[in-house]
Structure 1
């Protein structure tokens, strides 16, 4: 039953990202949530609090405004005091120049007593980099901004 509830929470969280409902999403995270996104680009780096994570989510919505993430599989291990959820996903979008964007990746999400404490994201960093380059060339300057880190 516990695993079912965690899976439901995770699916809801990805839905909130797709709907750009970040304030509601952040309510499920501890104040010092750690968010790490692989890659040497404007979305890469590590954030160590909700404010920086919110700024990152808002940037994501500006540099990839048509991004949609489909959850493919969720595995949950552990108990309420220390839970790990592994999420395999596929991200798609139509870029500003009309090109399709496709990326596959995995989130490793740590929860303690129903609150997200850590998120580590591993994806095809070259796909992200190339997508951001195309967005920059289409006029989204923030696609080449410095990383948001804290």
Structure 2
């Protein structure tokens, strides 16, 4: 069991590295076809997606709105067996906004995996920090920061 937990932790760390490196196709291809992805908040990044295409579109939006976003993993905890695994990931996100101001957010991902593929991702973060960051980006001319949610 310890080896399995270690492997899942490495898989999760690799996935966050793909986000930082904008390797979204590779990341999404490693998810279940009917992946469920939710991001808390009533804004352009909020909402729930139910398939790979919508998650890929959401990641593209994230990179256009926050092009310098970098996520640092603080801790990964893994529970369960290969057919039903929960990875809890605590992280810190940083970026430089278009107006030159720093962006900082802390949050957690709850990732459910089945046989090594993510089937459910719930993201909880400081929604006020996200809202304020989106507002700053919109004011700096990034119109997509006020776009309707990507939902499916």
TM-score (norm. length: structure 2): 0.98
Q: Which residue of 1 aligns with 2:70?
A: 68
What is the aligned counterpart of 1:18 among 17, 20, 32? 20
CA distance in structure 1 between the aligned counterparts of 2:71 and 2:46, rounded to whole angstroms: 17
19, 32, 35: which one aligns with 1:33: 35
After TM superposition, what 4+ stretches of structure 1 lie above 3 angstroms from structure 2?
A: none
Match of residue 139 from structure 2: 137
Show the counterpart of 2:44.
42
Match of 1:57 among 53, 56, 59: 59
CA apart distance, 1:28? 1.3
Question: What is the aligned residue count?
Answer: 150
Q: CA deviation at 1:31?
A: 0.5
For 2:13 and 2:25, the matched residues in 1 are separated by 16
Tell me the equivalent position of 2:124.
122
RMSD: 0.3
Partner of residue 91, structure 1:
93
TM-score (ref. length: structure 1): 1.00
Report the Cα distance in structure 2 between the residues aligned to 1:100 and 1:27, rounded to whole angstroms.
32
- Consecutive unaligned residues of structure 1, counting only runs of 5 or more, are none
